[in-house]
Amino acid sequence: MENFKQLCYDNKVILAPMVRINTLPMRLLALDYGADIVYTEELIDHRLIKCSRHVNDTLQSIDFIDKSNATVVFRTCSREKLHVVLQIGTSDPERAAKAAQVVEQDVAGIDINMGCPKDFSLKGGMGAALLSCPDKACTILSAVVSAVSIPVTCKIRVLPDINDTIELCKKLATTGIAAIAVHGRTVKERPNHPNRNHFIKAISEALDIPVIANGGSKEIETFEDITKFKNITGCSSVMIARTAEKNCSIFKRDGKLELGTIIRDYLHHAVDYDNVAPNTKYCIQNMLRNIQETEQGRHFLESTSLQQICDLWDVGDYCREKTKTMNCLRFEERDIACN
């Protein structure tokens, strides 16, 4: 019975992990538009381990809070429970296992980031640093697989040599992971370099577990392009980052929506889950890009609160009403706690 409920990584269209972008509102938006699985942004094991789990009755969410600075490190809700994969940044098997256990009951899967090329990750022995320490990478994966009862995956970048990459993937697959996501660029390559789709194809042919193709955003403009990317890479599942960051409705089978509708849909989720204004603004900025030059764009750049942002996209009344209701609920909760 337990296995029946486990997340399956075959034939899926997936929102790829993106720092700051993939907070709860964006993940819910991707699910609304048709994504099957949504990854969180990378969360570092040290931060997760410090968190305590809090059921937020006002928002109907589960919050993982770092009490030392009262910040919500990870917010989730029942709507995404069977679809959300939490990505951990780690360099240590024990810490990775503990971090995975902190969130295990509230997510569908755990992913280990083995592809991040940023200095912060590399210096800490995390992300792509693990690609050059395959034994350590395997120890981390084995530790997490043993520690939790939900599926575990990892996301890698390719190595410069195709055969070395296949060997690495085969080794990682022996740890009991449920799938492996492959970004077809090396650590040194930047987004404008061509994605090595033939590497991904060779890996998917060599492995028995699902391989998730990633790195195709430059060629993905429509839903049909997702199918093309699937065919070129020989994978049954595809993971999309930059195209979804700009236009999350890429997941819609029946065609993309115009930006105003996407932003309004996004803002409804941001209001429902009290997403902080700076994060909301950042995500919208990444959708608007150069359209920020318009009058509305200029007002947007000056906005500092969720209410101000919502007012610009005709979601102002919804935000005001919802905020009122939430404040009432918070007072009620406080009263109950005091009595």
Question: Which parts of this chain interact with ligand FNR (CB under 6 A)?
Answer: 16-19, 21, 41-42, 87, 113, 115-116, 155, 183, 214-217, 240-242, 245
Minimum CB separation of residue 215 from ligand FNR in Å reads 4
Closest CA to 66 of 90, 48, 93, 86: 48
State the Cα–Cα distance between residues 327 and 330, nearest whole angstrom. 5
Report residue 194: phi and psi, to 5°: -65, 145
Tokens (6 digits) for 201:
């194809």
By C-beta, is 134 or 316 nearer to ligand FNR?
A: 134
Q: Could you give the angle at the alpha carbon of 32 between the alpha carbons of 84 and 75, nearest 5°?
A: 40
Minimum CB separation of residue 99 from ligand FNR in Å reads 15
Q: Three-state SS across 57-71?
A: CCCCEEEEEECCCCE
State the Cα–Cα distance between residues 43 and 45, nearest whole angstrom. 6
Q: What is residue 13's DSSP assignment?
A: E
- The residue type found at 301 is L
Residue 183 host element (H or E): strand 179-183
Residue with tokens 């899926």: 12
Minimum CB separation of residue 253 from ligand FNR in Å reads 18
- Identified catalytic residue from 51, 116, 169, 319: 116
Torsion of CA 15, 240, 226, 154, to 10 degrees: -80
Minimum CB separation of residue 111 from ligand FNR in Å reads 8
Distance of CA 153 to the CA centre of its chain: 13
By C-beta, is 138 or 238 nearer to ligand FNR?
A: 238
**Annotation says 116 is catalytic:** yes
By C-beta, is 160 or 191 nearer to ligand FNR?
A: 191
By C-beta, is 16 or 62 nearer to ligand FNR?
A: 16
Closest CA to 22 of 94, 76, 65: 76
Minimum CB separation of residue 148 from ligand FNR in Å reads 19
Distance of CA 227 to the CA centre of its chain: 21
- The residue type found at 25 is P
Annotated catalytic residues are 116
